[in-house]
Amino acid sequence: MTSESFLALGGLVKHFGATKALDHADLALRAGSVHALVGENGAGKSTLIKTLSGLYQPDAGTIRLDGTEVTIDGPRAAEALGFRFIHQELNLVPHFDAVGNAWIGRRHPRRGPFIDRRAMRAKVADVAARIAPDLPLDKPAARLTPGQRQMAEIVRALMDPCRLVVMDEPTSSLSEGEAERLHAIVRQLSAEGCAVLFISHRLDEVIDLCDSYTVLRNGRTVGAGRVADTSRAGLVAMMSGGAGASTSTLQDTRSPHPEEAFAESRLEGRTDDVQQDHSNATALRPSRRPSGPPQDVEGGPLFGQSKGRGDKPVLATDIAFGPGDSRFIVSVRAGEIVGLYGLVGSGRSSLLKTIWGATPGRGLIAINGQVPRQGPAGRIAAGVAYVPEDRRREGLANLLSIESNLSLAHLSDFRAVASLPAPSRSKIRNFAGATGARLRLVAGGLDHSPATLSGGNQQKLLFGRWLGRPMRVLLVDEPTRGVDVGAKAEIHGEMRRIADDGAAILMATSDIEELLALSTRVLVLHAGRLVAEFDGPSLTRAAVVAAAFGHAPDEPMPPSERSA
Ligand SMILES: Nc1ncnc2c1ncn2[C@@H]1O[C@H](COP(=O)(O)OP(=O)(O)OP(=O)(O)O)[C@@H](O)[C@H]1O
């Protein structure tokens, strides 16, 4: 512990079976500092903060607060020390709203014998007004978007004064403007004397926001110091152990790229050529159905020419969902990566889920001019792949092994005997080994549950599941959320290869760098509507962010939003 630090972790060790998640890790924090904790996926960051929060007991090592060794034997002990945590996988009670969740474990205000809901709400509204004025306080957490759930967690953490707030990837599902707002809160907390331990894979954010850093690699502290004395490249070198180093625990048995290309499209690709077959959906009446390219509700063309290969869309939609009747007219051509951008709650995830068939919608969807069968199984049969945003609830089957999870979309190709449904173990193992190596998956073993993977490695698993499989359409929601810089480049490379192989990609992301780096075109959603489209020279950061906030391109933005 340096003379200035109020909290010092020394020589922390934590095993999970044969996996050494922490291997003599050290960390020292100054009061009121914003301290970055960085490292590749699986480096031990979450394990370290779970040890600090009392969720895990270290096998060895010490935690000193103000020079005195403390034992943190549970979350209450951590809370009593003034530590607050916002974990990567959020922990709200799903059927409680933000108010109910914020008051969990606290003495509720009372009016006589009754709980004073009005006072509870007023207190939460007060805290929310500082960070998330738009957060719906009365909606059950289960119905909030992941970004809103994160805000609800932050509100809960800030209900009382604190000495330390630990944030594990807090901005990974936030849009640019929301992340800026969060950064302002972090600076405010720091100015008030509360230290912030900030975990992020967004190194630009680390450089901009943090005063000091600790780098973990394979559970060990391999670097620490002042951010002003290092650089993005310096951090990457420490994280990866130098150029070209990889911490993958899996053998690289890289397999060649997908065997077969897609057959020619079987129908002309126009939405108006197809019939709606969703029994639960109201088809648009033929007289209203636009001819030629999809038209907007007023009848004028809403979206310009795509920049993909060919002029027929691989994916074409003219759909509406939810209570509003806003139509989502989207077409994506072979080779295109179309980005969807919007604030949390703007409807981007709902749009992807409706196209994927997991939530009901009205209208038309065509894949290469054919209406896919209902539900995700019908979409998979039509060559659609989907990587969801919320991996824990929608993506992973924790009762199956990592290798089975990776192989789920391939089982019919992996049969031991063509006439029997049972898959071949060795084919599953080979595919999982090759895909894991390709994405630098860090796992104790491929036969373990995905629940034992770090957050970023779970994301790699969800993406890897679809690799090596011919795809017509890839729907992807936050493709690299929580993924480290090395694997992020790998996933971006895979997405470009998938598009080059002729697939149409529709990608929602809150990471504006990712949006601008990958997208051929960007569609912006605001309050449940498609409000703008940008491509070529019109595709700029400022234009996209302004549209996401509901501003017309030449309308000036208010000063509070200009920094985004
Ligand atoms: N409950 C668990 N059971 C078994 N292994 C675990 C468990 N939790 C973590 N691990 C393993 O410990 C190692 C460190 O994981 P941890 O979640 O701390 O990494 P991380 O640095 O937070 O990664 P990420 O950036 O992906 O979130 C990984 O190899 C992970 O698979």
Model confidence pLDDT, tens digit, residues 104-157: 888 889 988 888 999 999 999 999 987 778 889 999 998 887 678 878 988 998
Q: Would you say residue 294 has pLDDT above 70?
A: no
Q: How far is the CA of 450 from the centre of ligand 1 (A)?
A: 10
Q: Would you say residue 253 has pLDDT above 70?
A: no
- Sorted by where each starts, the structural domains of the chain and their CATH numbers stand as 5-240 (3.40.50.300), 271-394+470-562 (3.40.50.300)
C-beta of 41 in contact with ligand 1 (< 6 A):
yes
**Atom of ligand 1 lying closest to residue 88 CA:** 27
Test site for ligand 1: of 14, 15, 19, most ligand atoms within 8 A of the Cβ: 19
Closest Cα to atom 10, ligand 1: which residue? 452
| CB 439, CB 463: distance < 8 Å | yes
Banded model confidence at residue 185, pLDDT cuts 50, 70, 90: confident
Q: Residue 478 corresponds to which tokens in the numbers above?
A: 């936050």
Tell me the average pLDDT across 31-51. Answer: 92
| CB 472, CB 314: distance < 8 Å | yes
The ipTM is 0.97
Q: How far is the CA of 518 from the centre of ligand 1 (A)?
A: 29
Tell me the average pLDDT across 169-188. Answer: 80
C-beta of 215 in contact with ligand 1 (< 6 A):
no
| Lowest mean per-residue pLDDT among 118-122, 287-291, 521-525 | 287-291
C-beta of 486 in contact with ligand 1 (< 6 A):
no
| CB 543, CB 516: distance < 8 Å | no
Compute the C-alpha angle 366/354/136, nearest 5°: 155
C-beta of 454 in contact with ligand 1 (< 6 A):
yes
C-beta of 104 in contact with ligand 1 (< 6 A):
no
Banded model confidence at residue 38, pLDDT cuts 50, 70, 90: very high
Instruction: Give the span between the Cα atoms of 495 and 384, in whole angstroms.
Output: 14
Give this prediction's pTM: 0.69
C-beta of 39 in contact with ligand 1 (< 6 A):
yes
C-beta of 450 in contact with ligand 1 (< 6 A):
no
Tell me the average pLDDT across 86-113. Answer: 87
E-strand ranges in 359-472 read 362-367, 384-387
Strand partners for 63: 9
Q: Would you say residue 521 has pLDDT above 90?
A: yes
Banded model confidence at residue 365, pLDDT cuts 50, 70, 90: very high
Closest Cα to atom 29, ligand 1: which residue? 42
Residue-averaged pLDDT of the chain: 80
**Atom of ligand 1 lying closest to residue 216 CA:** 21
| Cα-based distances in Å from 17 to 20, 21, 108, 258, 432 | 8, 10, 41, 36, 22
C-beta of 65 in contact with ligand 1 (< 6 A):
no
Closest Cα to atom 18, ligand 1: which residue? 44
Q: How far is the CA of 454 from the centre of ligand 1 (A)?
A: 4
Strand, coil or helix: what is 37?
strand
**Atom of ligand 1 lying closest to residue 443 CA:** 31
Check residue 274 and give its pLDDT.
29
Instruction: Give the span between the Cα atoms of 516 and 493, in whole angstroms.
Output: 15
Check residue 269 and give its pLDDT.
28
C-beta of 166 in contact with ligand 1 (< 6 A):
no
Instruction: Give the span between the Cα atoms of 56 and 219, in whole angstroms.
Output: 15
Instruction: Give the span between the Cα atoms of 507 and 481, in whole angstroms.
Output: 12
| CB 257, CB 356: distance < 8 Å | no
| Cα-based distances in Å from 418 to 145, 164, 469 | 42, 58, 18
Q: How far is the CA of 85 from the centre of ligand 1 (A)?
A: 17
Residues 477, 483, 489, 490, Cα dihedral to 10°: -80
C-beta of 218 in contact with ligand 1 (< 6 A):
no
Element (H, E) at 158: none
Closest C-alpha to 563, from 208, 211, 228: 208
53: left (phi over 0), alpha (psi -120 to 50) or beta: alpha
Check residue 106 and give its pLDDT.
85
Element (H, E) at 356: helix 348-356
Closest C-alpha to 197, from 460, 6, 3: 6
Strand, coil or helix: what is 179?
helix
Tell me the average pLDDT across 384-390. Answer: 88
343: number of Cβ within 10 Å: 24
Instruction: Give the span between the Cα atoms of 326 and 343, in whole angstroms.
Output: 17
Q: Exposed/middle/buried for 114, CB within 10 Å: 0-12, 13-18, 19+?
A: exposed
Q: How far is the CA of 25 from the centre of ligand 1 (A)?
A: 14
C-beta of 52 in contact with ligand 1 (< 6 A):
no
DSSP assignments along 40-77, one per residue? STTSSHHHHHHHHTTSS--SEEEEEETTEE----SHHH
Element (H, E) at 460: helix 455-464
E-strand ranges in 432-527 read 473-477, 504-508, 521-526
Q: Exposed/middle/buried for 413, CB within 10 Å: 0-12, 13-18, 19+?
A: middle
Laid out side by side, the sheet with 19-30 consists of 19-30, 5-16, 60-65, 68-69
C-beta of 453 in contact with ligand 1 (< 6 A):
yes
Closest C-alpha to 511, from 486, 487, 482, 538: 482
Q: Which residue has the tokens 């989502």?
A: 328
| CB 389, CB 173: distance < 8 Å | yes
DSSP assignments along 184-211, one per residue? HHHHHHHHTT-EEEEE-S-HHHHHHH-S
| Cα-based distances in Å from 151 to 89, 170, 226, 417 | 13, 9, 29, 50
Closest Cα to atom 24, ligand 1: which residue? 41
Give the dihedral sign, CA 437/439/443/445.
negative
Provide the percentage of residues in the chain whose pLDDT is more than 90: 37
C-beta of 47 in contact with ligand 1 (< 6 A):
yes
